[in-house]
Structure 1
């Protein structure tokens, strides 16, 4: 069999490291020029194009990983040879989607210290960006100190910028279009409630579309995060904040449904369809799941059995390279 992988680029941070480790700076320059030509053509012929390349790679990867966080995706092994210069999701080995919300969630069987846990993924992007900066340092400026200062400034500025990308993603999940000062508190308060209740990440955000249509907290939400004064306070603050943007409840509801999937490839479902294929040569479950996952935001997805979280006996806690 032949497996063909398609991406805008298969150049990774590690590709630059390969040549930099051998001090083959001509190859590093040629690789950087190729990447600019292929993936960042707007930087061609710019005087500071290599500095701007470092910034642009950081921006793309920040947007990419923020989108992972928005759907509870955990890559698994974010080493420099698995992070695309083009800012696409490739080489995701022991990856998985989170069921109940826990920022320390790890699935990879080889990640014993939680280096690539859910909450650490933006920090790992910053670490990888620092490695890329080291690999192209001679291209940034002929003066070594100036090059180091430029690289340091870009790497240090990354995390605050990346957190803003994440906050924009989370604003969308709460139905907000506008940016307001209290948004972070609303996001973090809900995540705290979810963590305390071990609420399902996907289903909690998904059920919000029902809550905006009524002043009453939907039963689906209290079933997930519990019924308490804290939940009541958060729900009222969120609903007022959303409607303050001047949208109708119906419009807000539709916006929430199109930013929060009902279906994700949950581990127990993936395990189930793989088992059917391997043990029984039955590929129908795989085809069905793939077809369903192609339309994760449709209303019909809410009632599908595949949308349900795993029961205790179905829980898959480890994934492996090759999954």
Structure 2
């Protein structure tokens, strides 16, 4: 019996949108992690997924009835340079499931073997990157950030060659869809206006039904801009650095996608970069908002033929939509930081207050996450000492704290209510780089999944104090610092 009712709306688009391809079978698949709560939410039977038929599907060894496995075509700007054909080089879309609330989700195998888009790659994934994406994507979900999700991680029983031989694995990824800005660029680069219209209308029907009707393509552009403005603002308020914001890594659905060399900041600095391939800091923490707008400009370019038959008329229409990104992003960003500082009302000076704290954090090399968390736990002036101790230069914090206390005095909420609100806005636990690396090392080098499981359990409740897990909240010691993160290819 197959309890999964697949639909395949993307596979019903014309064949030039994808390549039909089957996953490559692996030698000895073993499920090492199944996200049972997510499976249940999707209406999938966890017991079936853990059984022989489920393991065969999650590893790519067999396709269940109703699946239509495809690799999707897309292009993209990678570090500013355009590649007209990329596509799913190691990911295979099995199909779509509709959850208990009627929402559609892609089920994709990542690391399931080569496809026509592999560009001489092996199409496989090593265990380390699979665990990294599992950890970070599930942490982002717990933090309330729109994201792809991890349904399962499977060991293949085969080695993959990178710098050395590493254990191979397959990640089952769940997403609202895998349609990217680069998907639109693929057809725009070919002058295929018919495909652009089909793709845009598919996206509207699937993700933005409120945009349907006359003027729908402009409404789509505006909706995607709004979704990305909100998403990147959330990244900024939790210190997340995507690491590889290429246009093929930006989801039209407004979800965080493609967790490669991503990382969370420890000590605050706006130019922080972890990605080993981002040698010039193009995708540094502070560059993420302007890069998002740059990517959205590339998206707008693909829609020009749909906005008006006269390109000269279409350009100002698109420009007017793009001009809304900055104010939308700033509104989300300031609102997010107000919540983190316990401010329920708005005052014009709040922007400068937020900037002054970030400047003090940069000067004092203070930990981004713990500064805000300890402010949450400091409803009185006496309680601020724990926060003050995070600053290498406490004087900068002292000057700022006085301004913050004065600002709080104009709020109506009680101290207890403000503290509770701040605790729900400021996580104690994030997927810190050194903890991720320790979990990966234990799994890869010693076949020990204990640290991985413990880290997942802690990150599932990021806003709650967890006695006995204090070590998962502290910043890394000097010898534990991770200075570079890597793509999994």
Q: Normalising TM by the smaller chain, what interval?
A: over 0.9
How far apart are residue 229 of structure 1 and its match? 5.0
Whole-Å separation in 2 of the counterparts to 1:65 and 1:288: 28
Task: Give the gaps of 5 or more residues in structure 2.
Answer: 1-58, 61-170
Whole-Å separation in 2 of the counterparts to 1:79 and 1:229: 40
How far apart are residue 159 of structure 1 and its match? 1.7
Q: Which structure has the higher relative contact order (CA within 8 Å, separation 6+)?
A: 1
Greater helix fraction, Structure 1 or Structure 2: 1
Distance 1:217 1:298, change over 3 A: closer
Summarize the alignment of residues 1-323 of structure 1 with structure 2, pairs less than 5 Å apart: 1-2=59-60, 3-45=171-213, 47-212=214-379, 214-216=380-382, 218-226=384-392, 228-300=394-466, 304-322=470-488
Distance 1:301 1:236, change over 3 A: farther
The structure number with the bigger radius of gyration is 2
Distance 1:4 1:238, change over 3 A: same
CA contact (8 A) 1:100 1:199 kept: yes
Greater strand fraction, Structure 1 or Structure 2: 2
CA contact (8 A) 1:243 1:249 kept: no
- The secondary structure found in structure 2 opposite 1:282 is coil
- The secondary structure found in structure 2 opposite 1:250 is helix
What CA deviation, in whole Å up to 9, does each residue of 1:268-299 have, x standing for no partner? 11111111111111111110100000001002
Whole-Å separation in 2 of the counterparts to 1:175 and 1:102: 23
CA contact (8 A) 2:378 2:384 kept: yes
How far apart are residue 236 of structure 1 and its match? 2.3
- The secondary structure found in structure 1 opposite 2:337 is helix
TM superposition outliers: structure 1 runs of 4+ over 3 Å: 226-230
Task: Give the gaps of 5 or more residues in structure 1.
Answer: none
Q: CA RMSD in A?
A: 1.6
- The secondary structure found in structure 2 opposite 1:109 is coil
TM-score for both structures, normalised by structure 2: 0.64
What CA deviation, in whole Å up to 9, does each residue of 1:201-226 have, x standing for no partner? 000010002222x1335221111125
CA contact (8 A) 2:428 2:462 kept: yes
What CA deviation, in whole Å up to 9, does each residue of 1:80-119 have, x standing for no partner? 1000000001112110000000000001000000000000
CA contact (8 A) 1:63 1:165 kept: yes
TM-score for both structures, normalised by structure 1: 0.95
Whole-Å separation in 1 of the counterparts to 2:239 and 2:226: 20
